[in-house]
Structure 1
């Protein structure tokens, strides 16, 4: 279930996310660093090269895709994730409940379009729009899925 306005609104959210991520690539060279590390305890994603940490971000977790299950799992529904990094995902669930948007209010979203990466970016883009985040990052996982993170702040390391 979803309101008539939602598909176009979600498409706009994805376009906005692409623009935000393009700006982050230009301003902070995201996507070009040789290494990244996330610390879910500290709520940080760090980008580095051989000289050390260059970019420090504060993150929230959007959710994850699973190639095996062929679906998306919202972060708010994943008991393995630290609660401090789920507040924005919970805002998305509330938005979904308020507006009768099942894919935002239900824990799992099936990969109906048969493009798991597109599904992950669509739902992450929706979260970035709802929470007015700076952009997002996709961290590949071993089984073919990915963990999607949103940026709350981003700075050059001192």
Structure 2
């Protein structure tokens, strides 16, 4: 017998709506508070799950990263970080909590290891992950064939 909750699409929509509003507000506050626009550069490392921002060669902000997942451009598919065995453990943070939240609440997109790329569904999954893990913000980076999606936590100004 399967004792998992059935998917309730209206409940998912409520979760997404709340997560979207929370992410929008937090993202705007993060960008404004720390000046993350204009001539800002950033560097990240999955090995130590860190991101730093700099301006004119001086680091002014550091934070912790959690890799949410990735989009394979050639395959047009999403893969959750918890299902990606090639990622270093530090980069995963508490992403398993997102998978469990999906299982416990009948939101199948969260415990599926991957799915076909649909920009809106990826956006929803990212925002719900940010809400579940209480992230300060979202960040993304792209190469020729992959988009990486991150949560940003524990932002700390760096004295210059």
Q: Determine the C-alpha separation between the residues in 1 that align with 2:38 and 2:15.
A: 30
Aligned length: 153
What pairs with 1:129-148 in structure 2 (closer than 5 Å)? 129-143=131-145, 145-148=146-149
Of 72, 94, 97, the match for 1:91: 97
Q: Who is 2:45 aligned against?
A: 39
Which residue of the partner structure matches residue 7 of structure 2?
A: 2
Structure 2 residue 106 is matched with structure 1 residue 100: yes
Counterpart-to-counterpart distance in 1, 2:136 and 2:7: 26
Q: TM-score, normalised by structure 1?
A: 0.88
Contact between 2:46 and 2:90, CA under 8 Å: does it hold in 1?
no
What whole-Å deviation, never above 9, does each CA across 1:22-67 have from its counterpart, x for those lacking one?
0011101123343111011111011112232111011111111122
Unmatched 5+ stretches in structure 2: 1-5
Structure number with bigger Rg: 2
Which of 122, 125, 147 in structure 2 is aligned with 1:123? 125
List, as ranges, runs of 4+ consecutive aligned residues in structure 1 with deviation greater than 4 Å. none
The root-mean-square deviation of aligned C-alpha atoms, in Å, is 1.7
Offset of residue 91 of structure 1: 0.5
State whether structure 2 residue 80 is matched by structure 1 residue 79: no
CA deviation vs aligned residue, 1:94-147 (integer Å, no higher than 9, x gap): 111112221000110222xx4x3x43332111111111111111112222x411
Cα displacement (A) at 1:20: 0.6
Mapped to 2, the partners of 1:106 and 1:130 lie a distance apart of 16
Give the TM-score normalised by structure 2.
0.87
